[in-house]
Amino acid sequence: MSAPGVTPSRVAAVLFGGRSLEHDVSIVSGLQIVHALDPAMCTPLPVYIDQQLRWWIGDDLWHTESFKRGGPDRSRLTQVQLGPGFGTSQLVPVEGRNDPIPVDVFVPILHGTYGEDGAVQGLLELGGCAFVGCGITASALGMNKRLTKVLAVNAGVPVVPWKSCERSALDRGTAWMRDLSTGVEQSFGWPVIVKPCNLGSSAGVSVASSPDELSAGLLKVFEYDVEALVEPFIKNRLELNVAVVGLDEPVASVSEMPATSKASILSFSEKYKREGGKSVGSSQGMAGALRVLDPQDLPEELRLRAQSYATTVFRALGCEGISRIDFLIDGDDGALYFNEINTLPGSLAFYLWSAAPHYWTITELLNRLILRAERLRAIKRSLQRQPPPDLQLFG
Amino acid sequence: MSADLSLWAAPVAAAQVVLTWRRLLAYLRYFQQEGYDARRFVAWVGVRPLIDPAFWLVIASTWVSARPVRAAVLFTVGALALALLQPDSRRSGKITLKMTWRAIRIVTVAAVLAAALWISWVAVSAPAIRPALVASALVLVSIPFLLVVANGLLAPYETTVQQRYREEATAQLRRVHPFVVGITGSYGKSSSKAMLAHMLQFKAPTLAATGSINTVMGLTRHIRENLIRGHEYMVVEMGAYGVGSIRRLCDFTPPHAALVTAVGDMHLERFGSLENIFVAKRELAEALPDGGVLVVNADSANALRIAQTVPNRRALLYGESSSANLDTRLEGVRFTKEGTAFVLRTRSDEYECFTPIHGRPIVLNLTGAFTLAVALGMHPEVAVASFRTIRPVSNRLEVVEDRGITWIRDAYNANQYGFRAALEVAAALPVARRVLITPGVIELGAVQADVNAKLSQEAAAVCDATLVVSETNRAAFEAGHRAAGRSDRLTAVASRTDAFRWVGEHVKPGDLVLLENDLPDLYEHTEGFFWPGSHTPGDSR
């Protein structure tokens, strides 16, 4: 028993890496969070998930240096897996007889597929673990741009119109592409954006200005995803991002305008590499990217509306933790559109809380989120699990 | 004497261990590159151990061995310095040493052999400095051969392991039962495989190895690791290393359809005659089932002969210049910095196409892959649409803009046809000046000098400057430029490092640099083997 007033330290396992295009970005984000966790609140345990989805722990995992040149030296790490059995919440070494490591709370900092899409969240739910961030449903919905749009529209948030098509349509040849082209031309006009429905990064995204480019764009998408979205390209566009943190009530951050927003499109390298060609290998990561926080030249009404839409979308999807909601502003008519949601944004978008009115550090936010994760787990655990008599078939 | 012994024995032995280990790794890289083929490796090694500065260090130390401590200090310091100076073959060099389990086994056994050799020599002689140094010299000279012996000792074990893996792969192949497409040809196998797989992926799940896996061992590993239920197509590259090698591959992965890209005189030295090359490539067509789709490049007379001499196949012909009645004809090829525009004419239709890749041969290969994909039931329009998203293969006629300079990276090409194709693209692109860097082409037997002289003459007409790298084809290039009356445009350099230094000094934005047939380490000056080589700029492989 610990002395009264002293909270025993928790072990917080930070999961990063993963099997997605954003594996490297996740390492940078994950290590930022490892170093940002409050030592008074918890003991961080970095858990690196490699491209083969093997989980590793070890002292080397604290530094970005270890991840250069082909990744950390596995011989100096211990491979672990989530312990079997509901509610055990421990990491068990795969080989050897080392004791399992009890984990109090998991902090998934995984971007993209198999991490941000509900897959890891499902695993943690199966283990009855407490974890920070969105659950299965919100994660899975947030990864699917079409479903998010449907939910946003349903909640009264305007979105850019879209057409979607599935890769399996290729089995019927390309006649449908011509029909789609005609439809796109009539409803949207050229150019259009062609993008994967289910990816978080800019990979596979292209701008098409003709039927030929549209079909090329679709095939490019189909190398990454089985569903493609086509949207009108807003020529005079501005991007506006708002983060929302799920506390007792969802709270919106100030908005940011990525400085590259005037460019026609964010390419993967633009999105994840900073000016001067320096890659995300630096510990600053996304925080160093060029952006304008709380852009004062935007009308107050627009900023407030973006924040209100952001919390609406956050609620509509049932999000937890910190999500970043991205908007587009049509510079010609000032229309504001919800574009997409990142349920596990790079660096947890912590820089968005560094300005008035919040001035929350990422450390403070993580403390609150960990407490909330524990509370949510306890609520879920205390839900009625006793089957009613008619379901008790074996007495 | 015993006091002396304790003074020098430990440091000398330690220095010997470090140096031996480093040298083992250095030689192992080349042994690995030669596919652990002892004959080819030993031919490459030649007298190299005798020019090893470490060997001469030992000789020098033996010279002063009348003063044991002095000899020991000289050897220890010198050996450690040489060991540290030697570039790590696992990290430096164009093709690094891959520490696979097999490599680890070989180097471990070789290290044990080296230790045994050293210790037994010292043991049977007196435990004095001179026999110890003689043992060191012996070890240093025999290092490459110890690797060969180690490989020989391990051979029965390797065979057993490989046999088991092979059986597993065969069983997996039987379970999944994909439709296997075999591709062969003197050139263009890897790119054709990649392009065919690129098209077929939009039809059904397709497996194709990245890179050039074209041996039974390579395929075994590929199948065990990547082939899963659900894969409907598997595209396999079938490389011929002699008559019978494609037949062995076909026994392992029996093809249901085949593509023959070209039958030319590549690797003539290895095959002995063009007829042998023809016979070797024909094995793929022979392995097809009756009625199996056989797509051949009719522009290549010997490929066409395969279609004509193997009966009962559904032969489909493609080409550009052939006068034969073609199933797909390539027309109207135009090059831009962005890619290649062309037209494909089939028996029923005509398709306007564009692809971001460059070079006439690769577009011809694309035509072949298209013909095969359509024969397998793919919608031609989908295939054509997919051309636009084909990615250039790194260092295969890859056009890259870097700080205003247009680079044509064609380092992995190794034949005269690819060479000409690259020259054609270089000539077509709008640039200020054109610079060619190449060591020429090799493995052509008696005609090597003539072919290189011809290429040199053609290059002189296109390029404002040509840098011929290494001695191998220098004379032929000089002859070619002389014949073109352009001797002033040719510069001979010793290594690619020197060539890049020249580029740094002379090439300006708006210019084009063509990197052609960058030979594997084996044929270049072995800079960086015993000593650190200098860094090569612009080499972003």
Confidence category of residue A118, pLDDT binned at 50, 70, 90? very high
Residue with tokens 């029909």: A179
Cβ proximity of A110 and A49 under 8 Å: yes
Residues 6+ apart with CB under 8 A from B279: B243
* B101-108, Cβ contacts within 8 angstroms, sequence gap of 24 or more: B102/B36, B102/B154, B102/B158, B103/B28, B103/B32, B105/B150, B105/B154, B105/B157, B106/B28, B106/B31, B106/B36, B106/B147, B106/B150, B106/B151, B106/B154, B107/B24, B107/B25, B107/B28, B107/B147, B107/B150, B108/B150
The percent helix, strand, coil of chain B (3-state, each to 5) is 55, 15, 30
Report the chain A residue with the minimal C-alpha distance to residue B390: A220
What tokens were used for A354?
Answer: 């560094």
Q: For B295-410, where are the alpha helices, taking DSSP H only?
A: 301-309, 360-375, 380-387
**Residue A211: closest CA among chain B residues belongs to which residue?**
B385
The closest CB to that of A216, out of B202, B381, B389, belongs to B389
Instruction: Tell whether the model's pLDDT for residue A284 goes beyond 60.
Output: no
Q: What is the interface size between A and B, counted as CB pairs within 8 Å?
A: 35
Residue A8: per-residue pLDDT? 57
For residue range B246-264, what is the model confidence (pLDDT) as tens digits? 999 999 999 999 999 988 8
Closest chain A residue by Cα to residue B354: A212
**B314 vs A: CB within 8 A:** no
Per the CB < 8 A criterion, the answer to whether B53 and B497 are in contact is: no
3-class SS of residue B191: helix
pLDDT average, residue stretch B299-312: 93
| Strand arrangement of the beta sheet that strand A291-293 belongs to | A291-293, A250-258, A237-246, A322-330, A335-342
Q: What proportion of chain B, given as a percentage, has pLDDT over 70?
A: 94
Contacts of B382 in chain A (CB under 8 A): 170, 173-174, 219
Q: Which residue has the higher pLDDT, B49 or A274?
A: B49
How would residue B541 be classed by pLDDT, with cut points 50, 70 and 90? very low
Nearest CA-CA distance, residue B91 and chain A, Å:
10
Contact B389 A173 (CB under 8 A): no
Nearest of B361, B418, B431, B397 to residue B515 by alpha carbon: B397
Cβ count within 10 A of residue A70: 6
Whether B385 and A215 lie within 8 Å, measured CB to CB: yes
Specify whether the CB–CB gap between B181 and B259 falls below 8 A: yes
- Is the pLDDT at B144 greater than 90, yes or no? yes
Establish how many alpha carbons lie within 13 A of residue B24's alpha carbon, considering only the half-sphere containing its beta carbon: 27
Is it the case that residue B209 has pLDDT exceeding 90? no
Check A177 against B388: CB less than 8 A apart: no
Distance of CA B254 to the CA centre of its chain: 25
Do A132 and A106 form a contact (C-beta atoms < 8 A)? yes
Residue B210 reports pLDDT greater than 80: no
| Average pLDDT over all residues of chain B | 88
Residue where the block lists tokens 């306890």 = A378
- Rounded-to-integer distance, Cα B25 and Cα B103, Å: 9
Residues 6+ positions from A260 with CB-CB distance below 8 Å: A266, A270, A290
User: 3-state DSSP call for residue A82?
Assistant: strand
- C-beta atoms of B202 and A212 within 8 A: no
Instruction: Give the C-alpha separation, A293 to B149, whole Å.
Output: 67
Res. B101 pLDDT band, cuts 50 70 90? confident
Cα–Cα distance for residue pair B339/B172, rounded to 1 Å: 40
State the best of A75, A167, A215 to mutate against chain B, taking most chain B CBs within 10 Å: A215
Interface contact A222-B202, CB threshold 8 A: yes
Highest mean pLDDT of the ranges A226-240, A262-276, B32-46: A226-240
Contact A342, A242 (CB under 8 A): no
The segment with the largest mean pLDDT, out of A132-141, A200-209, B45-54, B242-251, is A132-141
Cis geometry, peptide bond prior to residue A357 (ω within 30 degrees of 0) = yes
CB B356 within 8 A of CB B387: no
Q: How far apart are the first and last CA of chain A?
A: 39
User: In Å, how far is B388's CA from the nearest CA of chain A?
Assistant: 6
Instruction: Report how far residue A137's alpha carbon sits from residue A291's, in angstroms, rounded to the nearest whole number.
Output: 31
Cα B281 to Cα B357: distance, rounded to the nearest angstrom: 26
Q: Residue B203: its chain A contacts at CB < 8 A? A: 170-171
CA B457, B461, B462: angle at the middle one, nearest 5? 120
Q: Is A173–B381 a contact, with Cβ atoms under 8 angstroms apart?
A: yes
Of B202, B354, B389, the CB nearest to A170: B202
**Does residue B193 contact residue B202 with C-beta atoms inside 8 Å?**
no
For helices A300-317 and A145-154, give the axis angle rounded to 10 degrees: 110
A322 phi, psi to nearest 5 deg: -115, 125
What residue of A is the nearest CA neighbor of B202? A170
CA A145, chain centre distance (Å): 12
In angstroms, the CA A190 to CA B400 distance is: 29
Chain B environment of A177 (Cβ under 8 Å): 381, 385
Q: What is the mean pLDDT of residues B237-249?
A: 88
Closest CA to A282 of A112, A22, A27, A14: A27
**So what's the pLDDT on residue A73?**
85
Q: Is B225 on the interface with A (CB under 8 A)?
A: no
Q: Is B409 exposed, middle or buried (0-12, 13-18, 19+ CB in 10 A)?
A: buried
Interval A4-16: pLDDT, tens: 444 558 999 999 9
Residue B259: both structure tokens together: 């593509």
Written as one string, the DSSP assignment of B309-339 is HS-SSEEEEEESS--S--SEEEEEEEEETTE
B354/A174 CB distance under 8 A: no
| pLDDT(B283) > 70 | yes
**For position B1, what pLDDT does the model report?**
44
- Nearest Cα of chain A lies from the Cα of B87 at a distance, in angstroms, of 17
What is this model's ipTM?
Answer: 0.74
Q: What is the pLDDT of residue B534?
A: 39
Question: What is the C-alpha to C-alpha distance for residues B361 and A80, in angstroms, rounded to an integer?
Answer: 50
Contact list in B for residue A222 (CB cut-off 8 A) is 202
Is some CB atom of chain A closer than 8 A to the CB atom of B167? Answer: no
Has residue A38 got a pLDDT over 90? yes
Nearest to A202 by CA among A194, A212, A191: A194
Task: Look at residue A293 in the predicted model and tell me its pLDDT.
Answer: 82
A212 contacts in B (CB within 8 Å)?
A: 354, 388
What is the distance between the alpha carbons of residues A171 and A228, in angstroms, rounded to a whole number?
15
- Reported confidence tier of residue B441, pLDDT bands at 50, 70, 90: confident
CB pair distance less than 8 Å for B379 and A220: no
**Which residue has 């820089």 as its token pair?**
A351
Q: Which of B198, B199, B202, B210 to mutate to test the interface with A (most CBs of A within 10 A)?
A: B202
Residue type at B473? N
Nearest to B202 among A175, A216, A219 (CB): A219
What does the alpha-carbon distance between residue B493 and residue B238 come to, in Å, rounded to a whole number?
36
Contacts of A220 in chain B (CB under 8 A): 389
Q: Is the pLDDT of residue B537 over 70?
A: no
Greatest CA span in chain B, whole angstroms?
A: 94
Specify the pLDDT at position B533: 52
Taking an 8 Å cut-off on Cβ atoms, the answer to whether A219 and B385 are in contact is yes
Look up residue A111 and give its two tokens.
């971007």
CA-nearest of A23, A30, A94 to A62 is A30
Preceding peptide of A191 cis, ω within 30°: yes
Taking the C-alpha atoms of residue B30 and residue B49, their distance in angstroms, rounded to an integer, is 14
What is the distance in angstroms between the Cα of A146 and the nearest Cα belonging to chain B? Answer: 22
Task: Map residue A267 onto helix, strand or coil.
Answer: coil
Q: Which residues of A touch B (CB under 8 A)?
A: 167, 170-175, 177, 212, 215-216, 218-220, 222-223
Closest residue in B to A226 (Cα) is B202
Encode pLDDT of A342-376 as tens digits: 999 988 888 888 887 888 999 999 999 999 999 99
Yes or no, beta carbons of B381 and A212 under 8 Å apart: no
Tokens of B109: 């056994």
| pLDDT higher at B197 or A259 | B197
| Res A259: pLDDT | 66
Q: Which residues of A touch B381 (CB under 8 A)?
A: 173-175, 177
Distance from CA of A278 to the nearest CA of B (A): 17
Residue A37 has pLDDT above 50, yes or no: yes
If you average pLDDT over each of B26-40, B362-376, B467-481, which comes out highest? B362-376
Task: Over range A22-26, report the average pLDDT.
Answer: 92
Q: pLDDT digits over B505-523, tens only?
A: 999 999 999 999 875 544 4
- Residue B150 has which token pair? 């180690």
Q: Which residues of B touch A219 (CB under 8 A)?
A: 202, 382, 385-386, 388-389
